[in-house]
Every structure is written in structure tokens, then in C-alpha cells.
Structure 1
């Protein structure tokens, strides 16, 4: 089983996702050649996305380290990042079983009409694996770990269904939802924050998105100029020289330009499959909806996400320094901040101010949850053979700062009673997701528009 999983993971998202999409296209009666074209186009889009993300890693990660050194942050728990965390999660017994179990569960829930989402984002099953692995380690029970992972997957599918319409409206792709295990966990906070913002006079009945800013401030609202300004701010905070700072400015401006264009390639590839899916279900299931569950990476092209995602880097470092009780030093994951705040853009319909405020609140939760899990995460890393803390230093990751992780782990501490509580929460969640039509489509920006 581990060998099969390792082989699937070794294919990478740029190969495995297109293979799945070819099968999906054929199931929806799309022609063979059109299925191949659509799937390969999506794969090319993900390839481009990976190249842009590599720019973040190559140029922004050293700048983050410079900020840490310059501000003299001496925190005791090191952030190992999402890549290492995924490796740790899949190296456990829970991780070895999670792909067939969650995939099978998803298919079952589709047949029972308890979800509309088919989560093909296999690589991000690592979020469920990590939740289950942490619970299994604390409880000493593989069964409890698998149950915890299943609850996380179910919560993600419920949120994916409820937010699908808004996701489709904001990013301009029909027939998809975001089912990624971290992105979905942020939605309850962002939805609650949006309701609160509606009561605040300064924020009420306003949509200060990037188009609004550009109309109000002219060229200062242009994505390229925003990228230049953000690059200069980050360079000044890091104390870089002219050469390194100029590179940072170009890279940040490049990210502002490249992310939306790469996402459009993914949109182009998904559209024929989306149209075929709608036609298929209209003919055979009286219009029953079906969503393709994707990675939150497809939301990153929105200018609000990129702008706030870059701004949140120095904000998170400041929070790490001043929050009482936080022990985590943000490092490896910090340059990938847009992934942590992307659903705020969706829930706030691209409003920059709302997204920035709620994203800052979210990063507070991330730091505290990552601190809470540090001892267990360190043990898990060492048991997986990563020798992450051989010198006695504790490790964690912003990746593990996941509200679903925290709620599931805490509720499962009492054992059976906790599981009963989670079953009750799941039943309520299914009631709302199956009885409600989903988040109403709102007016807002879309990447493709």
C-alpha cells in the first residue's frame, strides 16, 4: 500500500491531476481528444503555477530570513513548512491508509447525495493525514487517528459545497469547489468576520476591491504598481541592498502579473469538462449539481489575495514577536502566505480591507495552534525519521495551524464522548449543506473577467 501511495505522490500534481481529469472528462461523455486537451491544459496551468510559486521560494524566503535576523526574533519553535509537514503526514500508518479511505468515503458520500464535491486534490489529503496522525500519536490508537482524518475530510467537503457558488463567481470557473483541508478550515472565521464587518459603519455596504482602489487612486491601484510598492516595503523591512531589493521588487510585481495569467490557463482547461459535467447531470439526474474539488491554488490569481498575501508576511512576523504565549518562529511557510488567506478573498468578495483584517486575525490563530501542537508535531517528525529536533529544539509548522485540526484533536481527547460530539456536529453540518442551496452567488470580481 505504501509503495502504491508513494508512486502516486511521485507523479506530482502536474501529472496526476490531468490523468484524473481525463477520466472525469470521459465519464461526462467528452470526446477522448477533447478530454486530453482539457486535462493537459490544466496540467500546463499547474506547471506554470509551480514555476511562479518557486519564485516565491527562491526570492522571498531569504528575505523572510533577513527580516527574522534583523528584528532579532528568538522564538523556540521552528516552522518546518508545508512540504516537510506533508512528508511527515504521509510517513505514518494513518498516512499510508488515508488516500484509499478518503477517496472511497468521498465516492460513498456522492452516491448518498451528502456532498456535491468530488475531491480530486489527492496531494492535499496530507492535511487529513496530519490531523489523523496527531490524534493517533496522542491517543495511541490508529483507529482514532483514522476517525479524526475522516472527520476532517467530511468538514472540508461540507465547506466546499457551501462555498462553491461564491468560489465560482469570484474566480470565474464553473463547476468547481475548494476542498483543500487548510483553506476550508478558515471559512468559518472568515464567514463570521464578514457578518461582523456588515455591522461596522466604515466597512458596511462598501466593496473596496482592487478595482475600487484603482478607480479611486488611479495608477496606485494598478497591480504592477502595487507589486512595486509591496516589494519596496518588504526590501526596506529586510534591510536588503539595492541588488537584492531590486530583485524582490521585480519578483513581487511579477507575481502580481503572472498568477492571474497562469490561473486563466487552468480555467481554459477546466471549462470544457465543466460544461460536459453540467450537460451530463442535466440529462441524467434532473440537473443535479456536481463540483470538482480542487486545490486552493486556483484562487491565488485574484489581485486581492496576492496583495494581502504579501502584506501578511511582515504582519505575521510582528504578531509572532508580540503575541504572548506564541513560541513559533515563522520561517519555511511564511513566504507562502497567500495560501493561508486565499479564502478570505472569496468570503469578502475581493474587499482588500476586510481581507487584510480577517487574514491578520487568522494568522493569530495559526500561530497559537502551531504552538499548541509543537510537542506532538516534534514527536511525530522524529518518529517519521525526519530527525527534526535532534538537538532538543521543538518544531512545528504554520501548516499545522489549522482550526479543524485543533477542534478535532481537542474533542477527541475524551475518546468515545468526543467522537459522539463530532458525529453530532457532522450531522448538523450535513443538514445545512444538503438543505441549503449553498452560498448565494454575489456580485464580485472574477479572475477571468
Structure 2
């Protein structure tokens, strides 16, 4: 993990008095297999199983939820050696099972999986970098979300997998090596968008590499994964137990996610209100923002929690998918300038200080921002430029707590004119919510 810079000696709080709006629309209903607890895996076992508990040695480790049609698989785990002598490679396995009497075809629509070392190290990057070719990333979550946003499927995955009736197949059997690293810690982020022709059960598991007779390591076989699924218990060590939702005071522990969440994407048209075709820009010198990835005790005055609800979960894991890792935000802004003069408008993603209510009547920022990085990821912006030419831009952002955002786009809207802007991104693992999308009209 990266070493943060030293904390600044003096820090000023800046308040931007403005409206913060809830996000129109809602999450879709696509189920997401969300495997993120335990985040650090040091003992073998089941990370998440939606298999039926019948016949399993640890029935409570199996949540009995079949997938059919569109569903996503998200997994984000870290291997960390327990001692300098034990540097075995941890393998992450994802297995799919067809319980039916007919073959099931699983189409792999998009998929990517990367390690933090060596695939996508947490390098220091500027806060704003154009990323046209997808070669800019910091951390595996940043790299995975960037590729899925672009509709890509890593070459190691076939376009489709056919699972015979009553059989299982491995969807993932990937290492998280630590042997050559100092310190011996490594992480892997994975996101797959799938479409199944029939019911399937899914499980993610952690298992250490097996030894060959010559002492070298080999990946676990499908039969060994199956054995762990049948006889194993939950992997460890377990994460902190989350605060119950009904507890509204005191310290809050959100917990790590292990279960099936409802919702893979939030698509919305941002407008003046229901039925309105326009989003009227602010008056010159003013701004408003839309809250993104809001959560309990971080609603930014909107009264809206965007965290995906859990359909099934383990009792010691998060009650909601706080942070919405891997969820795609697709936002359309039909900007409208009602005034009699041309106006210059900017759009920016920002990371204000998290609040439940806006204590000071607007967004609070820090100058300079705090050292903790709260967002690392690529955002896509599509629009017609001031010459009327269509543009698609990808920008990689790195934002620290309390950081104001640089403009993603700057547009000059003639009097009484409209311009459509689309903003899309997948909320990256290792980010900390909430963020906001700010629309600002500059002073003439």
C-alpha cells in the first residue's frame, strides 16, 4: 500500500454554500455476488457461497441463492503473510454450479482481474490525468473498473462457458502471491458481468497453493476447490462486526461485504424535476451538486442512502454494500441555459467532508486536502464540444479527503440553448464515499 505524504502543518476549512441534491432514479435489480469479507484472508475457507446448505459440513456458510439471467461477480481480497516463514501463495477461486437437468450457458460480457503487485501498484499520480488509452491506473480496483467501463473482457476469459447438468466449473483460479514482496502483502480485485441461461450457484473460496513433489507450488485443482466447498467453513480472520442499522449514535462500523447485493448500476437523468427535459444551470457564480454513493451517516443532507441493499449476507458482515464497489453510475445531464447571454458551465467530481446533514449550509472542503486518498478511478465524459463535435474523454482522478475537483469539462452554452453531457464511472474499490458531482456556472 502507498505511504501517504506527511500531514500539512496548517489546514483551512472552506465552505461552499450551495444546494446538494439527491440523485434521481435508483439502483437496478441485477444481483451482485459481492465477496469482500474477510478483506485480508489468512486462513483457508469459504469467502462467500450461495450454494444450498444441504449436505455441507458447515451449513451456515452457504446462503442458498441461485442466479439466473444477468448478474455480476465482484471479489476484492488481500493476502498477507502471517509470518516471514510462511510465504505460501493464496489462491482465489470462484466456482459456478449448474443444479439443473439441462446445460447452462454463462456468457462473460465483461471481466477483469488484477493484482496490486505487479499488475497495478498504488503509484503516486496527479489528481487529474487524461486517460484515453486506459493505461493510467493506481491500484487493482482502479485498473479493473477502467477496463469494465470500456466494455472489455480480459483475454483469459472465454466469451461463454457451458456447464453440463449437475456439474461445476471454475470461473476463476488466480494467485495472490506474496513471496517476493516487502512487506509480504498483495491484493486482487475482480469484476465480472455475466448472463446465465439457467440457474447457477456461485462460491468464492481462498486456498493456499498445493506443493509439487519438487517443492514448487501449483494451483488447486477443481476437485480440491470442490472439496473445500463441501467440507470447509468460513475463511478468516473475520472482520469487525458492523453496527446494526437501528443504532444511530456512537461510533459506526460499516463492516465488510459478503453476500448478494441488489443493484449493479444507477442510471439517471438529472433534471429540474420529474417530467422536465432540462437541467437548468445555476446562476452565474453559483453551483449545485448531486450526491454520489451516499450511505448511512453520510447522506450529505439529501436524506438518501444509495448503498445497495443485501438480499442475503452472513450475520457478521455489512448490512448494505456501503461504497457500492463495482457499481456503475451512468448520469445524463441535459444542461439548459435559460438566460439571454452565453454562460460558461463546468462539471466536476469532488470529495467533500462526509456529513449526514450539511452543518454549515454547504459543502466543506480542506485546503490543502487531507492526506488520505478517498477516490482513485477513471471517469468517462461524453458531450458535444463548443464546435458541435462529439467528444468522448476518459479522465483518471485521484482525490483526497476534502478535495475540490478540477473541471471534467468546460462548456460555453449560448443564450437559451441546451447541451447534453453524459458522465459514467464504476465506483472503484479502495475508494471512500461519498463524492458529489458539481455543476457550476462561472462568473461572466
TM-score by length of 1: 0.22
| Structure ranking higher in helix proportion | 1
Instruction: Return the index of the structure with the highest Cα Rg.
Output: 2
Greater strand percent: which structure?
A: 2
